Amino acid sequence: MQTLTVTANLDALAAISAFITDAAERLSLDERATWQVQLAVDEAATNIIQHAYDPDAPGNMTLSWQCENNRLVITLRDYGRQFNPHDVPPPDLQSPLEERQVGGLGIYLITRLMDEVRFDFDPNAGNLLTMVKYIMPTAPGDIAVMPIQGRVDAVTAPQLSAQVHERITAGARYVLLDLSDVNFLSSSGLRALLLIRKDLMTLGGELRLAALQAQVHEVFALTGFTQVFAIHPTVDEAYGAFGQGRA
């Protein structure tokens, strides 16, 4: 087990990132798994820094990682205020972007990026967050490449969802959406993609997006979802990221 103890302030994030990067390199995690773990740990550490202690009296935070049966197990412990994840409302992913309330995205990201997440509290041992990333390599089967065209909005998003779910029902677990010909994406379209991604992840699959036009990419950037979706500049790069060359 590797352990790092730091003072819970924002200056510690660089050391935490280096600690987790070292773990990823030692375990030979691929690029996608590495950034997933880095982001999850950053979100968790930032929550502790901002909420566990008083700003003028930061306490300590201890991180550890170990590999157990092809599982990367990461823990973060602090001795600040008791944290109950059930007290945090889920983020609003349904309302129009301009009407959403801020908050809840950190825990949402952590639970989506890691394979297992558990929060524990002990009056004598503080808050303990345990996160697990499976590192056993999984070779994908057939990859469904689907070119999408035109607008993805309240009218067309249900059609897109139906088309993708037809492929999922037929057995597809790895879906690549070629968005090079999509010139408009609304919050309804973004919500449809989030639900498709969730359904595929539930089945152990993946959704990857490729070749986004600038205005479409900006929608993902504005909502922070560039760090949630697997987005690639080209279809070939996205295809290769599934773990096999393009046929």
List the domains of the chain with CATH numbers: 2-134 (3.30.565.10), 143-241 (3.30.750.24)
Q: In terms of pLDDT, which residue wins out, 137 or 217?
A: 217
pLDDT at 247 over 70: no
Buried b (16+ CB within 10 A) or exposed e, 85-105: eeeeeebebeeeeeebeeeeb
Amino acid at site 163? Q
Each residue's pLDDT tens digit, 55-82? 888 899 999 999 987 889 999 999 988 8
**Alpha helices for 89-213 (secondary structure H):** 105-113, 157-169, 187-202
Which residues lie below 8 Å from residue 108, measured CB to CB, with a gap of 6+? Answer: 90, 91
pLDDT at 45 over 80: yes
Each residue's pLDDT tens digit, 135-150? 754 445 578 999 999 9
* pLDDT on residue 160: 96
* pLDDT on residue 212: 97
* pLDDT on residue 100: 47
Q: What is the 3-state secondary structure (H, E, C) of 17-80?
A: HHHHHHHHHHCCCCHHHHHHHHHHHHHHHHHHHHHCCCCCCCCEEEEEEEECCCEEEEEEEECC
Mean pLDDT of the chain: 86
* pLDDT on residue 135: 77
